[in-house]
Amino acid sequence: MEDFQVRLEHCPKCHSVNTENLVRVQTGEPIRVYVRCRDCGTFVARYRLERYTSDKTNESLLRYLRKHGHSISSRIGAREVEGFSAEVEREFAETSDAPHSDKRLDELIWEHRR
Amino acid sequence: MKTGWRIFFVGLAAGLFAVVSFIPIPGMELAAQRTMGVFILALILWVSEAIPLYVTSFVIAALLAIFVPQHIEGVDYKVFLAPFFSPVILLFLGGFVLARGLERYNLDSVLASAILRRVGKRPWAILAGFMGVTALLSMWMSNTAATALMIAVALPLVNTMDREDPMKIGMLLGIPFAANLGGMATPIGTPPNAIAIASLRDAGISVNFLEWIGLALPAAMILLVVTWVLILLLFKPKTKELTFNVKRKVSKMGWKEWLVLGTLVATVLGWLTGRLHKIPDAIVSLAPVVVFFAFGLLGRKDFRSLGWDVLILMGGGLALGRAVSASGLDTWLVTSLGMEGLPPVALFIGFTLITVVLTNFISNTSSAALIVPLAMGFAAGGNSLVISVALAASASMLLPVSTPPNAIAFGSGQLKVKHMFRTGLIVAVIAVGVIMLFGLLIWPRLGIV
């Protein structure tokens, strides 16, 4: 089994890969992302967000550290801060270039469970 | 860390623990010997971070409970577990909850913008504003969170400054340094302070919230002003004025926001007036915990994500300190190393220097957890020595790895290590001097310690 696998979401109805993400933010509730097919409007998937990183990666990290500023290891903190933006960019490039798996998402999640 | 190195350090720690604990050392009581074994294990694991810092605390508790009590009369294993829920742990828990409330309802951001909007356009005033606000916030919330907030506010300004303007660097250095220094001022500002208070309490010396502020705030303020002047001298601003527009942060002040603010004020007042109402600081700390969670201001997810790992790390340090004193290891070290006759000045120089060096390479809390128990054994230094060690543990300004606030500022990509090292070294040297001045001359005269 490879270190990681990538799956491209597609519409269960029309099989289009032209999807859009609707980010739902509600007070007192976790942030949820609803994936919708742009071609036929069908519900594709829903994700619950643990941590959000925008294209302004440093800003996102600062917002995260403001809330979870209990990092007690300065060494890990330094690595995380310095490398965060680079890590996001590297992983984005890696994910963009990876071939797409045909497996169902729940299969992939099961395979890569800890 | 690579697995090979992890195994190496864990093996080294375990091996040295076994050797030191079980090979007879003439003239040393078994309890002290076992404790020294645990101390060396803790030192290796905390410095190397081969396992998470808080896990080392659990290892400490287990080893002390198994190997020490049978050699000390009247002590059972619970003595080494009790520190994990001692009054200072509760004090810190209350602090964490308050800080989470401030962040959740954006009140920290509102306070920061309210002050910064009034500092004017002069670079020296803007720097003073940033450093002052950061220090003020870090007295009540984690240094890391205060830095993350203020760096986010500062970056838009820094990014508009001329690339060659040294004040860019000055601004980015001033914030983490102010966070480290501000944290010295209150018991909840940073864990080393709480470790010192708990260790003194174990020795029968009580230092309450207000008394700690009376001891530490003047030293912290002097260092803050000195650091501000130093930064202005080393990174002279190129321009006379900066265009700095702080967005007015308005928090919709509904009942929740007012309740957070009210609880904050009540809790702080409760801490400051402990002598009047006689309710212990730790019990006052329960107020925000009860109010915020009972009224739904914070939820289960917030509760789970509080700094429990920090509290466990502190507990391990306190347990180790208790063992060092209960087993007589501190006395043994003093007598066997021939340090009984050492003058207080030498003790202060030695302990503050060792702490400042150590804290720049390992976590502030771990440094205090290791050095405070040893300082407690040196009666010649008085109780001021313990407080000096706690403050010195916050003087971690040299490197990005020294402390998370430094790492955050460095992560902006606009600082070089040499900027931080040069400025941080001067601040650290001055900090040693100021702490010694207070420790040797001023605190003993205040009659608190």
| A21 Cβ neighbours under 8 A, 6+ residues apart | A33, A34, A35, A36
Residues A34 and A65 in one domain: no
Residues A65 and A29 in one domain: no
The pLDDT, as a whole number, for residue B333 is 84
Residues A89 and A103 in one domain: yes
pTM for this predicted structure: 0.85
Q: Measured between beta carbons, which residues in chain B are less than 8 angstroms from residue A71?
A: 144, 404
B360 pLDDT above the threshold of 60: yes
Over the stretch B99-133, which tens digit does the pLDDT of each residue have? 999 988 888 888 888 888 888 889 999 999 999 99
Which positions 113-152 of B are in contact with A (Cβ < 8 Å)?
141-149, 151-152
Q: Mean of the pLDDT values across residues B181-193?
A: 94
Query: Is residue A37 a part of any domain in this protein?
Result: yes
The pLDDT, as a whole number, for residue B85 is 94
Residues A45 and A66 in one domain: no
Q: Measured between beta carbons, which residues in chain B are less than 8 angstroms from residue A61?
A: 411
| Percentage of chain B lying above the pLDDT 90 cut | 61
Query: Is residue A22 a part of any domain in this protein?
Result: yes
Q: Which residue in the set A66, A72, A80 is minimally distant from B148, CB to CB? A: A66
The pLDDT, as a whole number, for residue B130 is 95
Query: Is residue A86 a part of any domain in this protein?
Result: yes
Q: Is B420 on the interface with A (CB under 8 A)?
A: no
CA distance B289 to B258: 16
Contact check, Cβ <8 Å, B152/A59: yes
Q: Is A78 on the interface with B (CB under 8 A)?
A: yes
Tokens of B429: 């040297």
Residues A45 and A86 in one domain: no
CA distance B312 to B361: 21
Number of cross-chain residue pairs from A and B with Cβ atoms under 8 Å apart: 97
Residues A60 and A91 in one domain: yes
Q: Which residue of B54, B144, B313, B399 is the best one to mutate when testing the A interface, meaning the one whose CB has the most A CBs within 10 A?
A: B144
Residues A104 and A74 in one domain: yes
Q: Is A45 on the interface with B (CB under 8 A)?
A: no
Over the stretch B300-314, which tens digit does the pLDDT of each residue have? 988 998 889 989 999
Query: Is residue A67 a part of any domain in this protein?
Result: yes
Query: Is residue A5 a part of any domain in this protein?
Result: no
CA distance, residue B363 to nearest chain A CA (Å): 6
Average pLDDT score, chain A: 82
Closest CA in chain B for residue A64: B148
Residues A32 and A85 in one domain: no
Residues A31 and A77 in one domain: no
Q: Is B156 on the interface with A (CB under 8 A)?
A: no
Q: Is B56 on the interface with A (CB under 8 A)?
A: no
B380 pLDDT above the threshold of 60: no
Contact check, Cβ <8 Å, B363/A72: yes
Residues A89 and A109 in one domain: yes
Residues A44 and A57 in one domain: no
A47 pLDDT above the threshold of 80: yes
Contact check, Cβ <8 Å, A78/B155: no
Q: Which residue in the set B54, B145, B410 is minimally distant from A82, CB to CB? A: B410
Spell out the alpha helix ranges (H) of B255-383.
Answer: 255-272, 274-277, 281-284, 286-294, 300-304, 308-326, 329-336, 344-359, 364-376
Q: Structural domain tally of chain A?
A: 2
Domain that holds residue A29: 10-50
Residues A65 and A30 in one domain: no
- Check: CB of residue A19 under 8 Å from CB of residue A38: yes
The b-or-e profile of A13-49 (16+ CB within 10 A means b, else e) is eeeeeebeeeeeeeeeeeeeeebbbeeeeeebeeeee
- Check: CB of residue B392 under 8 Å from CB of residue B352: yes
Query: Is residue A95 a part of any domain in this protein?
Result: yes
